[in-house]
Structure 1
Amino acid sequence: MGQAARQTSSRLFSVDSSATGRFWTMEETDEALVRRLAPSVGGSDLLARLLATRGVDPAHAASYLAPTLRDFFPDPSSFADMDKAVAIILDAILEKKRVTVFADYDVDGGTSSAILARYFRAWGQDLGLYVPDRLEEGYGPSPAAFRHLKETGSDLVITVDCGAAATLALEEAAAIGLPVVVIDHHLMSGAHPPSAALVNPNRPDDTSGCGHLAAAGVVFVFVAALNRLARERGIAPDGGLPDIMPLLDLCALGTLCDMAPLHGVNRAFVRQGLTMMARDQNPGLRALADVAGIGKTETVYHATFMLGPRLNAGGRVGDPWIAAKLLATDDRREAIDLAERLHALNDERKAVESAILDQAMTQAEQALASNPERGILVASGEGWHPGVIGIVAGRLKDRYHLPTIVIGWGEGLGPVAKGSGRSVPGVNIGDAISTAAREGIILSGGGHAMAGGLSLEPSQIAAFDAWMVAHMAQFSAERTAALEFRIDAVLSPGAASPALVDQIAQIGPFGVGSPEPVFALQSVHVTGVRQVGVNHLRFIAEDASGRIECIAWRSADAPLGHVLGQGGRVHVAGRLKADEWNGRRRVQLDVADAAPA
């Protein structure tokens, strides 16, 4: 895809420090490019500008707007070890070997394992399942887990969304004669560990160009390759080769919840996967949608913010097996039971998260008061559950626009303290954590640019905090750049309509790498501010053109809530959402920021 030239103008509305501490800018685009893109979107100047700022050129506009698997699906054989792995698994199916999938405990792992379980079932085979406990076993395979699987009769193991870096575990598997096929997508470095086959588009020697796939995407390519090999051999189960297209709902869910960038085949996975999800063919997803109060499950919001947190709840604060079982079951009664358990665990997760967030915010405020120039926040507490510290780190990062690490330890929470980090663009937190581990500041750790994890003794926290502050001092310019809040277009309240939302949806799906457009309302009058839920605010923004309903999530006790609560004339920025209530379709603005006018 061609990249359009991008330029950033001066401060929009002269907003230099908003309620959330950011400065607003509006991207300028090449007017000639906008004119060339307009025919692709029915002459719409707005959509043409949105495409231009997202790096779409006229030659690729059609495939961007209507992504199909036919256009983007990769050749499975381009993945290192794919053909080898497919032959091993198809032979195991035909020979009726006892195969177990070893899945990570998050949504990507759960959806990946469920895709395989449903594929095996179409061949009349049951696929065993193993999901490690976050507190007792940690992330990924361990030597003990592989010994357990060998002792309990597994002939072959497939790891999904994990395993690529599990050198000790895979060496143990080789020593005890347990063949393992690894299907992963995480970054790798150096020599890969021993395995029967290792499929990972982020292997150093992989040439597929599909490193942007989530594990669920890699697994979907894998089952497509299984069908291809079976077709070449002239074999199939009694009902014919499995139809893998309905599995796109799981592929899309894993892709979205793992925040994989929405370009190339990922756009096709999500666009077509949401269509499959709306058909309600997966009993587990339907049951989870029912307990979450969702009617028709068909949007990125439903998948990412309604289903995803509930599926993750088991791995965070409860039984890590529930999500994978729910997504794989065809039994409606079992699905309802599992969905209700996940819903309850999600409520528990939110309560635990809220308590830790309050304490972590107090620590953050104290740290910034002591040193306003510190380039990172480090919060820690005894009893802070490892299952939610990553979420809390993300909340603090979003609030203060600084890289953040949250650490927890305590009885029953594992042998050492565990930390989880989230970062801002331009500051590689995974590299910083890896460096701290190499220098002996912490026991171990690593990650990627935007997120990382670590282990350390509680006695190391103070020194680690000081080391991180010193290390992050070099990224002053990057932290300043992270405070920029880009606006796509200025909108009058009267122009906000369901029809406009439908028009904007033409350039979706939105997610990482394909951001949802941000609109600014200039100098609107804020009225009717009221608190809803725990700490959300609803209000009306109006001017001479009309009015629009707005909601600012988690803002009542934040600076954003203070600005909105004062009323008067305010600049407001956010994203448009369509909502249906009592048969009436309306539009509201999900507020991301505001500034006094």
Structure 2
Amino acid sequence: MNLNPKTSILGLNWQQKTFDKRHATSIYQRFDLSEVLSDLLSAREISLDEIENFLEPKIKTSLPDPFELGDMEKAVSHVIEAIKQNKKITIFADYDVDGATSAAILKRFFRDIGVDVGIYIPDRILEGYGPNSQALLNLKKNGTDLVITLDCGTVAFKPLEDAAAVGLDIIVIDHHLGVLEKPQSIAVINPNLLDETFPHKNLCAAGVTFLFAVAVNKKLRELGFYNPPLEGGSNYAVVRGGVKNYQNAQKFYSSEILIKAKELRDNQTDAEGLLWFYLKNKQLDGHKFRRQQPFGNYIVDFVCLEKKLIIELDGSQHNEDKKIKYDAKRTEFLQQQGYKVLRFWNHEIFKNINDVLDVIFFELSSDSLARPLPEPFHGSTLPQGEGNINRAEPNLLNLLDLVALGTVCDVMSLTGLNRAFVAAGLKILRQRKNLGLREICDLAALDEEPSAYHLGFVIGPRINAGGRVAKSDLGATILSSEDEEEVKAIALQLENFNKQRKDIEVQVLEEAVKSLESGLNGFRNTDPIIFAVSKNWHQGVIGIVASRLKDLYGKPVAVIAIDDVGLKGKASCRSISGIDFGGEILKARLNGLLIEGGGHAMAGGFLVAAEKIAQLHQFFCKNLSAKVDEICAQKKAEFDIALDLPQVNIELLKELSKLEPFGVGNMRPKFILRDVIKVRANLIGKTGEHISATFSAKSAVGFQGQIQAVAFRSANTVLGQILLDPKSTKPMNLVGTLNINTWMGVEKVQMIIEDILI
């Protein structure tokens, strides 16, 4: 659909995304979806075979074998030997959200298997990005035997060489672009090494770290680390793989407990009845469940003997102290028999039955539940005197909220494995299991169901705030802590630091724009590559400012903060679609223009000698100007579908939510709302920088509806002038996204305006 001669207020050439209408019709007919959703799926080039997995992404069908990653086997073997020998392990992670989530994932996993590890996060200002020699040498001096670097280390050649010289073992887990040479280390696990054949290139560090945890977990299971069968003929009949006839085990139970179990089956609760409707008759991937089954002196709600999985449903009485202690004792007993226990509240069954079934399905299909009779784990006693007998295997699913947070905040493409990570992670986040995430959400007054938007724009900035303006380790600490008092204290600090960060960010952004408009320092906003440079800027906010400038100018941006003595500049970079800035940074480094640097296609960073900044700018402009000019000259912008106002309703928006999670690679659909008339418009927000407007249909027989719309940061723009002009009464076409705005329990459709065609 070509909208010419309609004129875009922003001067953009809006064109509809092309898609195969025949394919859209096939989707519509086969999957009973609306024409709008079918068209959107066709435009995303989702094949018929992929539709179901795209709309309901599952870890089971997406998770690869982690041992396909180069050096994974080597790294896992080394870590397990370190565990056996009680060696001291320290995690060295980056200070951003991806680093903090990666550190928390590994800290939590090791804690669950009884291994105490330390976390070291370098100071953003004093130490900068990645491993440094002094920090590694200090760790060795303080007794660390093995350092696992997360979200950094791929190009830290000198620091890792210095570490090796003093006998400090290093394992690198990273995702940033590498060069032909590898740093001196035990192993480098990175899907973006030049010689790496692993197909999932677009993982963040948290995603790679999760795969590492899966690999270690699998190897430990094979070694018999988890829950060996009880010896001596346990009266509780630990059934292996369903091979032993369960009827033979019933003789161990008294007639009283068997009668009680039957009574419970005959008088099941409504929640139990609903869940049993889905579990019975092998409906979940062919797995047989039993209900109200005796185990020792207990009766469990549901059990799959083959997979050794127990499901318990709890009413509100289970929130009382006495019942909590009883349930903990009961769960401990069941875990000692080799069973994994899932607990759900009754209200979850009624409100989110699909989410509950997804969790159960994941556990049934997870490789972590395949438990052949293992050989005993022949290792020394674990740290802190904990033995390795009867240790329950950790539920790695519970780490996916952290994987999702890292994936979204590091701006990874939400397709394929990442889409499955984020979809599953959001379900875990909604269960509020992570104390740190729960406290951050509560302080942020997040009272709606969290989405990928909240990960990137509500939770992420608060995690980042500590490293940007205060202590770098606060993010990793709050995400890994199980201490409620510590979590509450850190969450309050992060909330305050985030407010400080916003104030600093506004000041730096204003100075950067003025500098670029005036040509101060020799760099202008008309350059193909934007360089904003100053001695007065806080290094903690240059990444955010780079993002803002990229959005403002539509070009790749590097924001450079010069140190106090004027010798070096630290930069944070953001790119536009079609420009691989991370690759150019590596080229500049190989050409001797940088002290250090790296990144990926859409973002990066570097350290440069102050006297080489102008030369570096010329290097980037020479390599990228033609491509940038081509992209900018097109002024091309795409929308998905044009709609009339009567087509827009709550039901449509709820169906479109099946496309979530939205983000890079799967952006929220962009619509044109045709021929609407402005009813009213006014300024909103504390500073009056946003505009709220109401629109009605130009002509729709029998349709009296209106739609509320918001244009953010538009008060002093051409877009804002059109909206606020009382003379703007002619029909117009709105360009933007649609969402559901809930206020006082009432749901209404809302449009976020990005442009107007008149």
User: TM-score higher than 0.5 here?
Assistant: yes
Asked if 1:541 corresponds to 2:700, the answer is no
Change (3 A) 1:74 1:117: same
SS in 2 for 1:419: strand
- Residue aligning to 1:411: 564
SS in 1 for 2:197: coil
- Residue aligning to 2:737: 575
Asked if 1:560 corresponds to 2:704, the answer is no
Cα shift at 1:581: 1.5
Residue-by-residue CA offset, 1:497-548 (whole Å, 9 max, x unaligned): 2222211011221111111101112343332221313422222232245321
Alignment of 1:466-505 (within 5 A): 468-469=620-621, 471-475=623-627, 478-480=630-632, 483-505=635-657
Moved more, 563-572 or 76-85: 563-572
- Residue aligning to 2:126: 136
Moved more, 148-157 or 396-405: 396-405
- Residues 681 and 691 of structure 2 are in contact (CA less than 8 Å); yes or no, is this contact kept in structure 1? no
SS in 2 for 1:37: helix
Correspondent of 2:453 among 295, 298, 301:
301
What stretches of structure 2 of length at least 5 have no aligned partner? Answer: 227-387
- Residue aligning to 2:327: none
CA distance in 2, matches of 1:437, 1:164: 14
- Residue aligning to 1:454: 606
- Residues 384 and 410 of structure 1 are in contact (CA less than 8 Å); yes or no, is this contact kept in structure 2? no
- Residue aligning to 2:554: 401
- Residues 176 and 599 of structure 2 are in contact (CA less than 8 Å); yes or no, is this contact kept in structure 1? no
Cα shift at 1:214: 1.1
Amino acid at match of 1:511: G
Moved more, 69-78 or 567-576: 567-576
Amino acid at match of 2:733: H
Cα shift at 1:431: 4.2
SS in 1 for 2:454: helix
- Residue aligning to 2:540: 387
Moved more, 565-574 or 195-204: 565-574
Asked if 1:509 corresponds to 2:661, the answer is yes
CA distance in 1, matches of 2:141, 2:402: 31
Asked if 1:320 corresponds to 2:458, the answer is no
CA distance in 1, matches of 2:483, 2:209: 23
SS in 2 for 1:261: coil
Change (3 A) 1:38 1:86: same
Q: CA RMSD in A?
A: 2.4
Amino acid at match of 1:585: E
- Residue aligning to 2:751: 589
CA distance in 2, matches of 1:335, 1:474: 50
Alignment of 1:52-63 (within 5 A): 52-63=42-53
Residue-by-residue CA offset, 1:547-576 (whole Å, 9 max, x unaligned): 211222222233433333335244321111
- Residue aligning to 1:175: 165
CA distance in 2, matches of 1:482, 1:155: 55
Asked if 1:258 corresponds to 2:410, the answer is yes
CA distance in 2, matches of 1:74, 1:442: 36
- Residue aligning to 1:420: 572
CA distance in 2, matches of 1:446, 1:181: 19
Cα shift at 1:204: 2.6
Asked if 1:192 corresponds to 2:354, the answer is no
Moved more, 574-583 or 476-485: 476-485
Cα shift at 1:427: 2.9
Larger Rg: 2
Amino acid at match of 1:106: D
Correspondent of 1:47 among 33, 37, 49:
37
CA distance in 2, matches of 1:436, 1:223: 35
Amino acid at match of 2:632: T
SS in 1 for 2:17: strand
CA distance in 2, matches of 1:467, 1:196: 35
- Residue aligning to 1:3: none
- Residue aligning to 1:90: 80
SS in 1 for 2:110: helix
Asked if 1:201 corresponds to 2:191, the answer is yes
Correspondent of 2:106 among 116, 122, 134:
116
- Residue aligning to 1:378: 531
Amino acid at match of 2:535: E
- Residues 408 and 452 of structure 2 are in contact (CA less than 8 Å); yes or no, is this contact kept in structure 1? yes
CA distance in 2, matches of 1:539, 1:363: 34
- Residues 524 and 571 of structure 1 are in contact (CA less than 8 Å); yes or no, is this contact kept in structure 2? yes
Change (3 A) 1:564 1:407: farther
Amino acid at match of 1:577: N
Cα shift at 1:492: 2.9
What stretches of structure 1 of length at least 5 have no aligned partner? Answer: 1-8
Amino acid at match of 2:672: A
Change (3 A) 1:473 1:227: closer
Amino acid at match of 2:121: V
Change (3 A) 1:123 1:434: closer
CA distance in 1, matches of 2:109, 2:406: 17
CA distance in 1, matches of 2:167, 2:735: 59
- Residues 316 and 388 of structure 1 are in contact (CA less than 8 Å); yes or no, is this contact kept in structure 2? yes
CA distance in 2, matches of 1:61, 1:218: 26
- Residue aligning to 1:354: 506
Scaled by the length of structure 1, the TM-score of the pair is: 0.92
Cα shift at 1:377: 2.5
- Residue aligning to 2:298: none
Scaled by the length of structure 2, the TM-score of the pair is: 0.73
Cα shift at 1:468: 4.8
- Residues 493 and 541 of structure 1 are in contact (CA less than 8 Å); yes or no, is this contact kept in structure 2? no
* Identity score, percent: 38
Cα shift at 1:480: 2.9
- Residues 98 and 409 of structure 2 are in contact (CA less than 8 Å); yes or no, is this contact kept in structure 1? yes
- Residues 516 and 524 of structure 2 are in contact (CA less than 8 Å); yes or no, is this contact kept in structure 1? no
CA distance in 1, matches of 2:589, 2:722: 42
Moved more, 507-516 or 140-149: 507-516
Residue-by-residue CA offset, 1:392-413 (whole Å, 9 max, x unaligned): 121111122122222222439x
Cα shift at 1:390: 1.8
Correspondent of 1:211 among 188, 201, 210:
201
